[in-house]
Structure 1
């Protein structure tokens, strides 16, 4: 930071004109000068330089933000592309699985149809056998009844 210009001679003269003794005016002038040396006072030039630095930092940050946005957009596009490919693969796999399940279901239906047909044949065969046995029982019953009637 720059120093503020301070004219000690002019200050001493001003104090003397106000009625202070020369030695006292010199002492006050020296004290004021030392306080200015110690004080870190910003000049207009210092402030202008800080403003330029801030403007430069803003420009740099804007450029970095633009770069990050561009990179982020590219990464998001890559992720979308990867996800689309993975979704397509999952759909393909799922379609194949569904086709396999449908084939398995069709095989089960065919097996069930043939099992049902066999059971129907078995039931028909059993029904025929039962009908023949029932017919035999009826014939025997009629024969027994006829024999009993002849006997009495």
Structure 2
């Protein structure tokens, strides 16, 4: 996944200047750094979209075949 590089110490200093105590500032910075591991990139979304398109096309084709079979069975029945 993508990683955004930033100065964590500068961020902690800015948080402290804004009124956070040292422990709060450190916790916020750690949460942001850990959140980077769960970021979704454009490449990931594009890959998932293409996978979902293939699955959707397969499902629609299966439903069309099932519908054709059902119609053929009903025509034969009547």
Q: Settle same-fold status: TM greater than 0.5.
A: yes
Matches within 5 A, 1:31-110: 31=30, 32-37=32-37, 40-80=38-78
Indicate the structure with greater helix content: 1
1:52 aligns to what SS in structure 2?
helix
* TM-score, structure 2 normalization: 0.60
What is the aligned length?
64
Distance in 1 of aligned mates of 2:35 and 2:68: 53
Where structure 1 has 5 or more consecutive residues not aligned to the other structure, the ranges are 81-152
* 2:16 corresponds to: none
- Moved >3 Å (runs of 4+): none
Instruction: Give the Cα–Cα distance (whole angstroms) in 1 for the partners of residues 45 and 35 of structure 2.
Output: 21
Deviation digits for residues 72-91 of structure 1, max 9, x if unmatched?
A: 121012201xxxxxxxxxxx
Q: Using CA pairs below 8 Å that are at least 6 residues apart, which structure has the higher relative contact order?
A: 2
Structure 2 residue ranges without an equivalent (≥5)? 14-21
* Rg larger in structure: 1
- TM-score, normalised on structure 1? 0.35
For residue 2 of structure 2, what is the aligned residue in structure 1?
A: 4
SS of 1:69's equivalent? helix
Which whole-Å CA distance do the structure 2 matches of 1:35 and 1:61 have between them?
35
